[in-house]
């Protein structure tokens, strides 16, 4: 290379041929110290990081923790987050939004009543507030718990609200009259998940104390406590109840899923394919299947009749939340890397990845007409993705 004769040839042909004599010094370099090669593709990805969303909501000034879609108005969405605020806003109409202010700490849970008229917000400030879903007017504030609210849920039929608290208690109110109805105590730790059964006759709650408790809403009586072997060994994180109100499925930090018969309080089956904490669970509306997502990056679709996994879907990062898309075979997984992956539960294939968020997804919602998937992220935004082809 230093040979003048070669130099001329180089200029003509552009190729450089090295001889052993050309080597002046050898230096060994550990491959790990070398920076990653930046190919053209990488540049394109970094810059053209596509945003697949059709609408971005930026009203929040902090992380988003919860998203809820109205069951009646396909464009109406509620979001809440670390800025202590809730907002109701409309997809595609960025000029229409109402702030739901008044909470003194993060808004971590939102739920629309079944008739779509009311919205309940639960906050770490220990209060549940009830709002008119179409105007954003505050209808009432429900007090009672001595610690932050973990979740809020409406009764399937009436305007009764249920909430679980960090202070180990569960409360129920009549939202129309802002009247306290019942308190359910018994858990020994934060009540992390809970709901009415679809028939409205029973309440199931899960706690950090690793137990599932089953309650009678009318008199506050604790009917069953599910604990110990073969049940969970660590705190419960999520809960789903079958549409016939007979079975409760619970996920836990211990990576296992158990199916409990609500009437008897007995564990009927256990699903143990996850290798890390389970974060979310959801039941298919059209088949006897359940989907669970966990920090092992897996979304697993279970056949409940055979208590076995149908397919195991590998996301590239932890799955924090999931949602079945209507009564279709598709499940959306919200991940820590900010992406939302759509899985075909029949084939186990990832049919779509929605990009746009720059931080972990915290919550997913599907619009009433099943055309939109709404996501809330730690990046402070909510994004809307069109999903009509997944119906």
Select 115 or 369, whichever has its Cβ closest to another protein: 369
Using the contact rule CB under 8 A, the part of the chain among 17-25, 47-55, 228-236, 239-247 near another protein is 47-55
Residue 258's φ and ψ, nearest 5 degrees, are: -125, 145
Instruction: Determine, following the binding rule CB under 8 A, whether residue 228 of this chain makes contact with another protein.
Output: no
Size of the site for another protein (CB under 8 A): 14
Find out whether 64 and 56 touch, Cβ atoms under 8 Å: no
Alpha-carbon span 216 to 218, nearest angstrom? 6
Torsion of CA 121, 141, 148, 189, to 10 degrees: -100
Q: Smallest distance from the beta carbon of 53 to another protein, in angstroms?
A: 8
Interface with another protein by CB under 8 A: which range of 51-59, 114-122, 208-216, 297-305? 51-59
Residue with tokens 């464009």: 75
Asked if 93 interacts with another protein (CB under 8 A), we say yes
Applying the rule CB under 8 A, the residues between 103 and 142 that interact with another protein are: none
According to the binding rule CB under 8 A, does residue 207 interact with another protein? no
Nearer to another protein, 57 or 390 (CB): 57
* Closer by beta carbon to another protein, 304 or else 384: 384
* Residue 391 sits in the site that holds another protein (CB under 8 A): no
What is the chain's Cα-based Rg? Answer: 26
Q: What's the Cα-to-Cα distance from 170 to each of 118, 151, 183, 215, 246, rounded to whole Å? A: 20, 10, 6, 10, 21
Residue 51 found at the interface with another protein (CB under 8 A):
yes
Distance separating alpha carbons of residues 363 and 275, to the nearest angstrom: 22
Minimum Å gap between C-beta 324 and another protein is 22
Segment contacting another protein by CB under 8 A, of 14-22, 52-60, 192-200, 298-306:
52-60
**Least gap, CB of 96 to another protein (angstroms):** 9
Shortest distance in whole angstroms from residue 281 CB to another protein: 31
Return the range that interacts with another protein (CB under 8 A); candidates 12-20, 50-58, 156-164, 172-180.
50-58
**Residue 30 contacts by C-beta under 8 Å, 6 or more apart in sequence?**
none
Query: Does 58 engage in binding with another protein (CB under 8 A)?
Result: yes
In 3-state terms, the chain is what percent helix, strand and coil (to 5)?
5, 45, 45
| 47 binds another protein per the rule CB under 8 A | yes
Kindly state the smallest distance separating residue 94's Cβ from another protein, in Å: 3
Following CA atoms 134, 140, 144, 148 in sequence, which dihedral angle do they give, to the nearest 10 degrees? 40
Which candidate, 247, 254, 241, 313, places its Cα nearest to that of 282?
A: 241
Contact 292, 281 (CB under 8 A): yes
Q: Which is nearer to another protein, 4 or 388 (CB)?
A: 388
Q: Does residue number 61 form part of the binding site for another protein (CB under 8 A)?
A: no
Name which of 163 and 366 has its Cβ closer to another protein: 366
Residue closer to another protein, measured from CB, 9 or 43:
43
Q: How many helices (H) and strands (E) does the chain have?
A: 2, 32
Q: Of all helices (H) and strands (E), which one includes residue 179?
A: strand 179-184
**Whole-number minimum distance, CB 48 to another protein, in Å?**
8
Q: Is 45 in the site for another protein (CB under 8 A)?
A: no
Residue 165 or 381: the one with the smaller Cβ distance to another protein is 381
Spacing of C-alpha 310 from chain mean position: 21
Site for another protein in 355-384 (CB under 8 A): 371
Q: Which is nearer to another protein, 55 or 213 (CB)?
A: 55
CB atoms within 10 A of CB 190: 18
Number of other residues whose CB lies within 10 A of the CB of residue 35: 5
Residue numbers at the binding site for another protein (CB under 8 A): 47-48, 51, 53-58, 92-95, 371
């Amino acid at each position: 290379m230093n040979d003048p004769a070669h130099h001329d040839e180089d200029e003509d042909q552009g190729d450089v041929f090295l001889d052993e004599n050309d080597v002046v010094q050898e230096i060994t370099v550990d491959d790990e110290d070398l920076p990653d090669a930046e190919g053209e593709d990488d540049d394109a990805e970094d810059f053209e990081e596509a945003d697949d969303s059709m609408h971005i909501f930026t009203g929040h000034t902090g992380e988003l923790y919860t998203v809820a879609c109205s069951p009646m108005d396909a464009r109406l969405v509620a979001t809440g987050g670390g800025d202590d605020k809730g907002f109701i806003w409309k997809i595609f109409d960025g000029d229409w939004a109402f702030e739901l202010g008044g909470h003194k700490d993060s808004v971590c849970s939102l739920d629309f009543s079944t008739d779509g008229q009311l919205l309940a917000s639960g906050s770490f400030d220990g209060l549940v507030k009830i709002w008119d879903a179409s105007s954003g007017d505050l209808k009432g504030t429900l007090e009672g718990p001595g610690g932050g609210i973990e979740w809020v849920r409406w009764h399937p039929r009436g305007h009764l609200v249920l909430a679980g608290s960090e202070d180990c208690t569960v409360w129920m109110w009549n939202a129309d009259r802002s009247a306290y109805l019942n308190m359910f105590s018994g858990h020994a730790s934060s009540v992390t998940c809970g709901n009415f059964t679809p028939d409205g006759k029973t309440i199931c709650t899960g706690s950090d104390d690793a137990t599932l408790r089953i309650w009678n809403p009318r008199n506050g009586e604790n009917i069953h406590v599910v604990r110990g072997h073969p049940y969970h060994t660590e705190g419960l994180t999520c809960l789903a109840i079958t549409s016939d109100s007979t079975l409760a499925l619970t996920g836990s930090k211990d990576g296992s899923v158990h199916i409990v018969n609500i009437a008897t309080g007995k564990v009927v089956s256990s699903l143990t394919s996850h290798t890390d904490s389970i974060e979310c669970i959801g039941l298919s509306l059209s088949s006897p299947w359940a989907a669970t997502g966990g920090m092992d990056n897996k979304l697993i679709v279970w056949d409940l009749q055979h208590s076995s996994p149908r397919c195991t879907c590998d996301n590239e990062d932890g799955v924090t939340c999931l949602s079945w898309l209507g009564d279709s075979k598709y499940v959306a997984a919200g991940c820590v890397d900010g992406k939302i992956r759509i899985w075909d539960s029949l084939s186990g294939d990832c049919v779509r990845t929605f990009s746009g968020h720059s931080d972990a997804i915290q919550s997913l919602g599907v619009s009433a007409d099943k055309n939109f998937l709404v996501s809330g992220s730690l990046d402070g935004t909510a994004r809307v993705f069109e999903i009509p082809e997944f119906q």
